Amino acid sequence: MPFCEIAKHQTSLDDAVDAASSSSSSNNKGIKIFYKTYGHGPTKVLLIIGLAGTHDSWGPQIKGLTGTERSNDDDRMRAVDPNSSDSGGCGYGGNGIQVCAFDNRGMGRSSVPTKKSEYTTKIMAKDAIALMDHLGWRKAHIFGHSMGAMIACKLAAMVPDRVLSLALLNVTGGGFECLPKLDSRTISVAIRFLKAKTPEQRAAVDLDTHYTKEYLDEHVGSSTRRAILYQEYVKGISSTGMQSSYGFDGQVNACWTHKMTRTEIELIRSAGFLVSVIHGRHDIIAQIYYARRLAKKLQPFARLVDLHGGHLVSHERTEEVNQALCDLISASDKKMNPHVWTNFPKESSRKYPHSVRVSVGC
C-alpha cells in the first residue's frame, strides 16, 4: 500500500513552522500518511479532506478531474503508461491531470498520534508538503474541504511558491468560526453526533450534517436519496472503522486552534495565484459568512462560488463544483488577470461579491 513516511521528508521544513507549534522530524518518527494517486498527466492536484474524512470522500472530484475512479496502484492500471494522459475529466488542451488524495493523520489508514498537540493545521500542512516531496511534485493545485481547506490555507502561506492555485470548499477561519449557528436543529445534530457509537448511528447523523433535507428527500427510483446514501455511509464507515477518540479529539483540536494571521493572508495574496472559495449556502456546520469574509481578505485573487447545498456541497452539487475546479485550473494555466477572475466589486471591499449562484434543485 502507498504510504509516505513523514520524518523522511520534513527536515527541510522545520524552519517553516515555529517551534511552539511544530512537530519535529524526531516527533514524526513512525508517522505514515496513506495516499492514492489517480490519473496521469503534467497537471498535479493535491486534495486535502476534512475532519473525520478519508481520501475516498473526494470520489466525485477525482472522477471529474481525471476521468477515472481507479487508483494508479490498482492492478488494472499498472499496464498504463505513466506518461500518458487519461481521457475524460477536465484535462484541457490535451493535458491530463494527476490527483493525489490522502487520509490525514488521525483517520483512515494513516497514523493516529495520541497527543492532541500533534494535531494542528500547521503540522498537518507539513504532512501534505512532505507528501508532495514524496511524490516528487514541485508544484500543485491545492484543493481542501472544511478542515482540509484550513490545512490548505496554512500550506499556501508556508510554501506559496509551490501552489499553482487554491480551492477552499466549505471553509471557515477556525476557532469560534467552527461553531455552527445555534438553533434547535444544530443542537440536536450535535448531541446525536457525540452519542454516535456505531456505523449506523454515525451514518444517520452524518447525512443530516452533510446535505440539505430536500436533497435527502428526493426520490431516486423507488427509494429516497437518504435511504441510498445511508447504506453507502454505513458500508463506508464499517470498512474504514469508526474514528478513534485520539484521532477525533486531535482533529477537533486542529480546527479549534486554527487561525490565519494577517501576515499569512498577505503571503498568500502576494504569491499571486488564483483562489476559488466554494460553499454551500445552507451549510449548517461552516457558515457561509465566514467563507465570504475570507474570500474578501484574499482580494483581488479570490472568486466566491455560492451553491445551493450543504456542507458536503462537493457531493450534493458535484457537476457545479467540478466545473468550478476545472475553471480554476484552466484560468491558472492561462494566467488569467485576477481582476478578471474575481467576482467581488472593485469599488468597495465592504460590499458582498456578485457570487456565482447555481440553483439547480431549488
What are the pLDDT digits (tens) for 187-226? 898 899 889 999 999 999 999 999 999 999 999 999 999 9
Residue 27: domain span: 3-178+253-358
Contact (CB, 8 A) for 105 and 147: no
The confidence score (pLDDT) of residue 22 equals 44
In a domain, 90, yes or no: yes
**Residue 102 in this model has a pLDDT that exceeds 70:** yes
Domain co-membership, 162 together with 285: yes
Q: Would you place residue 23 in the very low, low, confident or very high pLDDT band (cuts 50, 70, 90)?
A: very low
CB 292 within 8 A of CB 344: no
- 151 assigned to some structural domain: yes
User: At which residue does the C-alpha cell 494566467 appear?
Assistant: 335
Rounded Cα distance between 314 and 301, Å, is: 22
- Calculate what percentage of the chain has a pLDDT beyond 90: 77
Task: Judge whether 295 lies within some domain.
Answer: yes
Compute the half-sphere exposure of residue 22: CA atoms within 13 Å on the CB side of its CA: 16
Please classify residue 249 by burial: count the beta carbons closer than 10 Å to its beta carbon, then call 0-12 exposed, 13-18 middle and 19+ buried: middle
Residues 135 and 275 in one domain: yes
Whether 167 and 285 share a structural domain: yes
At 171, phi and psi to the nearest 5? -100, 155
Q: Which among 243, 275, 292 is the end of a domain?
A: 243
Task: Please check whether residues 174 and 189 belong to one and the same domain.
Answer: no
User: Across residues 125-135, what is the average pLDDT?
Assistant: 98
- Same domain? For 173 and 188 the reply is no
E strands of the chain, at which residues? 3-5, 32-38, 43-48, 97-102, 140-145, 163-169, 219-220, 223-224, 274-280, 302-307, 356-358
The stretch 131-155 carries a mean pLDDT of 99
Q: Which of 210-214, 234-238, 323-327, 356-360 has the lowest mean pLDDT?
A: 356-360
Mark whether 51 and 140 lie in a shared domain. Answer: yes
- When pLDDT is cut at 50, 70 and 90, the band that residue 21 belongs to is very low
pLDDT more than 70, % of the chain: 86
Confidence at residue 19, expressed as pLDDT on a 0 to 100 scale: 40
Please report, for the domain that includes residue 111, its CATH number: 3.40.50.1820
d(CA 16, CA 158): 6
In a domain, 259, yes or no: yes
Instruction: Indicate whether 282 and 228 sit together in one domain.
Output: no
Distance between CA atoms of 355 and 60, rounded to whole angstroms? 23
Whether 97 contacts 53, CB under 8 Å: no
7 in any annotated domain: yes
Q: Are residues 96 and 223 in the same domain?
A: no
Q: What is the mean pLDDT of residues 306-328?
A: 98
Q: What is the pLDDT of residue 359?
A: 37
Same-domain check for residues 188 and 61: no
Q: Quickly state the pLDDT bin for 169 (edges 50, 70, 90).
A: very high
Measured CA to CA, the distance from residue 195 to residue 17 in angstroms comes to 36
The helix-helix angle for 184-195 and 199-210 (nearest 10°) equals 150
Predicted confidence at residue 240, as pLDDT, reads 82
What integer pLDDT is reported at residue 356 of this predicted model?
55
Shared domain check, 189 and 131: no
Do 333 and 226 share a domain, yes or no? no
Per-residue confidence (pLDDT) for residue 161, from 0 to 100:
98
- Interval 53-69: pLDDT, tens: 999 999 999 999 999 99
Number of domains in the chain: 2
pLDDT at position 91: 61
Q: What is the mean pLDDT of residues 99-109?
A: 98
Taking the complete model, does pTM exceed 0.85, yes or no?
yes
Instruction: Count CB neighbours of 76 within 10 A.
Output: 8
DSSP-assigned letter for residue 72: T
Cis omega (within 30 of 0) for bond into 42? no
How much is the pLDDT for 194?
86
In-domain check, residue 248: no
**Sign of torsion, CA 164 166 6 82?**
negative
Whole-number pLDDT of residue 193: 87
Residue 348 has pLDDT above 50, yes or no: no
Q: Please tell me whether residues 79 and 155 are part of one structural domain.
A: yes
